Amino acid sequence: MTANEIYDKLKAEFGDDILAFSEDASTEAFITVRPQRITEVCLYLRDEPEFLFDYMVNLSGVDYKTNMTVVYHLYSLPKNHRIVLKVELDRDTPLVPTVEKVWKTANWHEREAFDMFGIVFEGHPFMVRILCPYDWEGYPLRKDYKEPETYHGIKVAY
């Protein structure tokens, strides 16, 4: 199934909660979804017999300076088709429902997005840092991140 067909079916099901469809993106076509409905959309994509997106390839955060974005790469093993979802969040208080209940693999991906961008996933069972130390300050992959001068009394800069 092509991205276009998937978009049409989603639009028919969810209406205004499917915000946009970008077909001419330089990488892959993606669908922008209203953040509040992302869990329902993902559940629908996973369970509907014509979609069967049983595999979440990747979940990553992006800092676009104007907003925070979460990107979901989905793939269906039985149907051999793929789709990209995006949700755009407020940059100061990035908040989005978790999809950990849909795909277990999202657990660590969401923790990584939280660690690197400070995006909070509501309903996640264990929303703590995964790569940086627990007492790390700031979110390193944000565009306005400033490298700390010292960490535990150790000079960080070269």
Binding site for other proteins (CB under 8 A): 132-133, 140, 145, 147-148, 151-152, 154-158
Q: Which is nearer to other proteins, 27 or 150 (CB)?
A: 150
User: How many angstroms separate the CA atoms of 134 and 28, rounded?
Assistant: 35
Q: Which is nearer to other proteins, 49 or 125 (CB)?
A: 125
Q: Which is nearer to other proteins, 27 or 143 (CB)?
A: 143
**Whole-number minimum distance, CB 108 to other proteins, in Å?**
17
**Whole-number minimum distance, CB 147 to other proteins, in Å?**
5
33: amino acid identity, one letter: V
Q: Which is nearer to other proteins, 92 or 135 (CB)?
A: 135
**Whole-number minimum distance, CB 148 to other proteins, in Å?**
7
